[in-house]
Each structure stands twice: as C-alpha cells, then as structure tokens.
Amino acid sequence: EAGVAQSPRYKIIEKRQSVAFWCNPISGHATLYWYQQILGQGPKLLIQFQNNGVVDDSQLPKDRFSAERLKGVDSTLKIQPAKLEDSAVYLCASSAGLHNEQFFGPGTRLTVL
Amino acid sequence: KQEVTQIPAALSVPEGENLVLNCSFTDSAIYNLQWFRQDPGKGLTSLLLIQSSQREQTSGRLNASLDKSSGRSTLYIAASQPGDSATYLCAARDPGGTSYGKLTFGQGTILTVHP
C-alpha cells in the first residue's frame, strides 16, 4: 500500500513570495490533515478535511494561508505572502475516518529568507 | 484547550539501557493517546496507540502506559539500541464533537543512544 506522498520535499523562498505544497493521501482515506511543525516543537494542526469539506481550520492563518482538497483526494496548501515565521516543516496526514489512525507523509521543509 | 507536555526534552543514554519517556496532558477527556517516532528529515511513524479504555500497549521492546485520571502516559524502551535514536512525540486525541478528533502533540523528546 502506497503511503502519503508530498511534494516538493524542500523549498526555499524569500519573504513576501508565494508557495504551494501538494499532498496525495492514501487511497480511500476520507480525512486529510495539514500540520505545521516549527523546529523544536510538535506538529500543530492547520486544517482538516473530511472528503472535500473543511471540518476544522481554526488554527489556519486565513489572511495568508489557504487550502483545498480537489474532488476529495489530493490537496494543496498555499501561503501568500510568506513571512519569516512560516519557516517550518509542513506535514500532510490522512486517515480512513475522523477517529482512525493517522498516517503521515515525509513533509515539506520550507525556508523563508 | 488540551495541552501536552513531554519530559525530558532530550535524553542521551548508552546502548543497552532501559529508559522511560514521559508525557502529560491537561484534559483527561481523551479518545486515545498515540506515541510517534520522527527521524531527521522524515515524517512521523506511529509506534503505539492506547485507547482511553486501555492501560497499556506493547510492541516488541516498547511499552506504553496510560493513566487518564492523572493525565499521564509513559513510553518504556527496553534494551535501547543506537537505531532507537530519534525524536519521540506523544499526541492526545480529543473525543470528538466540535473538535473532530483533533490530535494535540507534545514538543517531543530527542533520544540519543550511544554505541
């Protein structure tokens, strides 16, 4: 069974630029999550989708971050414009349902200069 | 709001030692608690998941316990090996409702096992 795929693995941009991350969850998983992990901290949930609907985006900085889940499968997370404090690893995870085990992708490491 | 704390922040031990990692959470109304391993530059790998009705789970040299009433969980690693070196994270899952089963993570314990 293929795991959660993410791309790119690494991205370096300058502040005020835009960036987008892509996630392909495990086939058949209805729930998809985006987490932000700042160096030295645990992951923090940014947004959670159930199929193609958002169920929790309470910690998403909506003035600069946006996310969508196309046809309930792949998802993209966008930052526009980026700030220095957005430097972090962005992790995507998926699960079969809201209370099922989450499986994580390798993450995208973003550096904002 | 759930808060999860892990102690110690870092731990260095010689190979062969038994060790304990600690995790505490502020809200005892959890659905389950999960321990993860994170290697440098990698995603998270699930190690053990303890349901709220359970007291412990075991997998190989790993044993995780859960005491909901005191808001604590421990991960016990027996006969540590250099390959165990990684960051260990615990996460408490909300029971549901408006929180939709949200995972709240601790900040992790960085474990180094010396040969």
Across residues A56-84, what is the average pLDDT?
A: 94
Q: Give per-residue burial for A62-98: e unless 16+ CB within 10 Å, then b.
A: eeebbbebeeebebebebeebeeebbbbbbbbbbeeb
Chain A residue numbers touching B103 (CB-CB < 8 A): 43, 45, 102
Q: What percent of chain B has pLDDT over 90?
A: 86
pLDDT at B98: 57
Return the structure tokens found at B111. 């474990």
Whether the per-residue pLDDT at B29 is higher than 80: the answer is: yes
Whether the per-residue pLDDT at B99 is higher than 90: the answer is: no
Whether the per-residue pLDDT at B100 is higher than 80: the answer is: no
Residue entry with tokens 């929180």: B99
pLDDT at B94: 86
CA distances from B65 to B7, B76, B79, B85 (A): 15, 8, 18, 21
pLDDT at A13: 97
Q: Rounded to a whole number, what is the distance in Å from the CA of A13 to chain B's nearest CA?
A: 19
Q: Which of B99, B103, B104 to mutate to test the interface with A (most CBs of A within 10 A)?
A: B103
Where are the strands (E) in chain B, listed by range?
A: 4-7, 10-14, 19-25, 32-38, 44-51, 56-59, 62-67, 72-77, 86-93, 103-105, 109-114
The Cα–Cα gap between A41 and A88 comes to 10
Neighbours of A101 (CB within 10 A): 13
Of B42, B103, B106, the CB nearest to A102: B103
The Cα–Cα gap between B95 and B68 comes to 13
Cβ partners under 8 Å of residue B97, min gap 6: none
Instruction: List pLDDT tens digits, range A16-52.
Output: 999 999 999 999 999 999 999 999 899 999 999 998 8
Instruction: List pLDDT tens digits, range B63-98.
Output: 999 999 999 999 999 999 999 999 999 999 988 665
Whether the per-residue pLDDT at B10 is higher than 60: the answer is: yes
